A and B are shown apart, each in its own frame.
Chain A
Amino acid sequence: MTTQTAQTEYALEVRDLYVGYYKDLNILQGVNMKARRGQLTAILGANGVGKSTLLKAIFGFLKPNAGDVFLNGQRINDVPTYQRITLGLAYIPQRMSIFRWMSVEDNILLGGWTFRHDKERLQRKLEENFERFPILREKRRQPAGELSGGQQRMVELARTLMTDPQVLLVDEPTAGLAKLLKREVYDMLTELRDREGKTIILVDQEIRHALRIADYVYILDLGRNKTEGPTAEIVADLKKAFWI
């Protein structure tokens, strides 16, 4: 019964996670986190507390030294990174991760790698993305590396949405973008949550923006959970909001 509740209520759960870049040096030291389905959960904290490390560990780029990651109630520690997309988990890293020398269209199509033999579905998803981001249709033949920062983020997002993932791990999506573009990116994330019911886990340094769109907030400090709560509570408690 408990598992059933966990499956329906929380799309993603991290239990007592210890992770590091070296075996005997853990950056995360027993982090716990739950992401409610269809909500945007923000992970905040100062530089170097392990926010990005947490997302890398959830997606499998870092192997936990201890602890578990559950997706829809299923333990995914042993699922290879490249197979996690098939479980409905997607990851947008902090640095731009487009294929710079490939066309915009090829970039987006590669998002459909896992169903590449289904031409009809590929075409449908491609069209959906072009409707979502009309500017990308205009620039479909252009090498993705020639686009502006904001447009490159759109390519990444479009590529990610090809598989229609239910859980999105988004790491500092506005890093290095102009002010105007930042707002656009946050609007895109809000839309994905509100219109398409995606569960989003957002790691961000832009605290004010993140608090504006998040439903629930976790604050990390030196690789450990410091505090957590619904955004309204966190914002209300200025002491918590200005932990830095």
Chain B
Amino acid sequence: MVATLLHFVPAQMWLITPEFILRLLAEGLLIGLIYSLMALGLTLIFSVLGIVSFSHGEFYMIGGYVVYLFLQKFQNSLPRALTGIGALLAAMLVTFAIGVVFERLFLQPMARGEVDRPNEYAILTTFGLAFFLQYLMLGLMGPFPKKARRFFDLPVFDAGLIQATKASLKIGNITLGAGRLIAGLIALLALLAMLYFMFKTWTGRALQATSQDRQAAAVVGINPMNMNTLAFGLGAMLAGLAGAVLVSVYSWVPWVGVIASSKSFVIIVLGGMGSIPGSLLGGLIIGVVESLGTGLFPDPVRAQAYRDVFGLVIFALVLLVKPTGLFGRKL
């Protein structure tokens, strides 16, 4: 009995200190912010267009590659911070544009009622786009992993408890890498901007209105077709931005979006389909659970391989208790 229990105690128990737990939490929150950003994009598309986009991960992948290429092209001709900002803007613009063009060409016929089986059509066209983008980038960039250099540095300072170098931030005994920290902060800023846009601007309210009652939106004068295009473009852009901030943290290959995409599906179901707060909280929960699970798993060798499992366990538990997800609307 004791031997069985001991099996579940981490091998390096002496390593588990409050600082270690705090570092795991902080890292989980940072990555969770990026998950939330991606899931928010998928939520926007699902709630306005009523479809699940299977090409969401590929927009994430494209965002990363745009940053990589932008940095390659301009890193010697522009100041470092400016290159970073330019790269992010370029990634957002490119993914938004692809999203808008794709929605206009392939999804509008469905919204206009010109397609006999819209659900199957949406699945096939978004899957088609996903394969097209993957193979396009495979042709353009090759199969070998790429990694962009960090495009923002932290300001160097020493304020006693908090110290920062260009590459890391130290709070007490907790050290966080600049890459993840900056990625998390950019994701946080983007999330706040999106929340402001959705709840405080007319266009954001029109998107919400269209998602809640498409016919009523048309009755008040909102053009639902334009809202579809905007939602798909913004959703693609958010995924692109998530990829853009992570390309300097992870190695990038043309199929890097597959896992990111499936994680987004898990998050939006966990948070409640179509719920903005749900996708934000869901992302943070999955990020923290993955980080804690990986850090505290008894067998550190296997822990990394089980990373996605920890999130899925929480996902299954939540759905058992609340099948509509955390903030799910009653159907």
Given known pairs A110-B206, A113-B202, A113-B206, the reply for A97 and B213 (CB within 8 Å) is yes
Known contacts A99-B208, A110-B205, A113-B206; A90/B219 CB under 8 A: yes
User: Contact partner of B221 among A97, A109, A114, CB < 8 A?
Assistant: A114
- Complex Cα–Cα for A236 and B298 (A): 87
Closest chain-B Cβ to A200's Cβ sits at a distance in Å of 16
Scoring A residues 103 to 128 as 1 if CB is less than 8 Å from chain B, else 0, what string do you get? 00010011101101000000000000
Q: CB-nearest residue of chain A relative to B214?
A: A97
Q: How far is the CA of A82 from the CA of B202 in the complex (A)?
A: 16
CB distance from B47 to the nearest CB of A (A): 10
Task: Please measure, in the bound complex, the distance between the C-alpha atom of A109 and the C-alpha atom of B199, giving whole angstroms.
Answer: 13
A142 on the B face (CB < 8 A): no
Cβ of A110 and Cβ of B209 under 8 Å apart? yes
The yes or no answer to A61 lying at the interface (CB within 8 A) is yes
Interchain CA distance A241-B209 in the complex, whole Å: 41
Q: How far is the CA of A11 from the CA of B223 in the complex (A)?
A: 25
Q: How large is the interface on A (under 10, 10 to 19, 20 to 34, 35 or more residues)?
A: 20 to 34
CB <8 Å contact, A111 and B220: yes
Contacts of A114 in B (CB 8 A): 220-221
- Give the distance to chain B from A121, nearest Cβ to Cβ, in Å: 14
Give A101 to B209 CA distance when docked, in angstroms: 9
Question: CA separation between A163 and B212, bound complex, in Å?
Answer: 21
B contact residues vs A (CB 8 Å cutoff): 202, 205-206, 208-209, 212-213, 215-224, 329
- With A110-B206, A113-B221 as known contacts, state yes or no: A99 contacts B215, CB within 8 Å: no
Interface assignment of A37: CB less than 8 Å from any CB of chain B: no
11 A-B interface contacts by CB (under 8 A):
A82-B218, A82-B222, A85-B219, A85-B220, A97-B213, A98-B213, A99-B209, A99-B213, A106-B205, A113-B220, A113-B222
In the assembled complex, A159 has its CB within 8 A of some CB on chain B = yes
Say yes or no: is A86 at the interface (Cβ < 8 Å to chain B): yes
Which residues of A line the B interface, CB within 8 A?
Answer: 59, 61, 80-83, 85-86, 90-91, 93, 97-102, 106, 109-111, 113-114, 116, 159-160, 162-163
**Is A102 within 8 A of B205, CB to CB?**
yes
Residues of B within 8 A of A98 (CB): 213, 216
Q: How many angstroms from the CA of A163 to the CA of B209 in the assembled complex?
A: 17
Q: Are B221 and A83 in contact (CB under 8 A)?
A: yes
Contacts of A99 on B, CB cut-off 8 Å? 208-209, 212-213, 216
List chain A residues, Cβ under 8 A from B202. 113, 116
CB pair B220–A61 under 8 Å, yes or no, is: no
Contact B215 A102 (CB under 8 A): no
Instruction: Determine the chain B residues whose CB is within 8 A of the CB of A85 once the complex forms.
Output: 219-221
A115 and chain B: residue at smallest CB distance: B221
- Residues from chain A with a CB closer than 8 A to the CB of B219 are 59, 81, 85, 90-91, 93, 97, 160
Give bound CA distance, A159 to B220, whole Å: 8
Q: Which residues of A contact B224 (CB under 8 A)?
A: 82
Asked whether, in the complex, the Cβ of B208 is within 8 Å of the Cβ of A102, the reply is yes
From residue A119, how far is it (CB to closest CB) to chain B in Å? 11
Closest 7 pairs (CB-CB, A-B)? A97-B216, A114-B221, A85-B221, A99-B212, A82-B218, A113-B221, A82-B223
Q: Are B215 and A97 in contact (CB under 8 A)?
A: yes
Extra inter-chain contacts (20) besides given A97-B215, A99-B213, CB under 8 Å:
A81-B218, A81-B219, A82-B217, A82-B221, A82-B222, A85-B220, A90-B219, A97-B213, A97-B219, A102-B208, A102-B209, A106-B205, A110-B206, A110-B220, A110-B222, A114-B220, A114-B221, A159-B220, A160-B219, A163-B221
Q: Which residue of B lies closest to A117 (CB)?
A: B202
A23 to B253, CA, bound (A): 48
Which residues in A have their C-beta under 8 angstroms from that of B221?
A: 82-83, 85-86, 113-114, 163
For residue A59, which residues in chain B have a CB less than 8 angstroms away from its CB?
Answer: 219
CA distance A100 to B329 in the complex (A): 11
Q: Do residues A93 and B205 form an inter-chain contact, with CB atoms below 8 A?
A: no
By beta carbon, the residue of chain A nearest B208 is A102
B residues in contact with A97, CB < 8 Å: 213, 215-216, 219
Residues of chain B contacted by A116 (CB below 8 angstroms): 202
Interface centre among A81, A86, A159, by most B CB within 10 Å?
A81
Q: Tell whether, in the assembled complex, residue A100 and residue B220 are in contact, meaning their CB atoms are under 8 Å apart.
A: no
Contacts of A86 in B (CB 8 A): 221
Cα of A106 to Cα of B199 in the assembled complex, Å: 10
Distance between A84 CB and nearest chain B CB, rounded to angstroms: 8
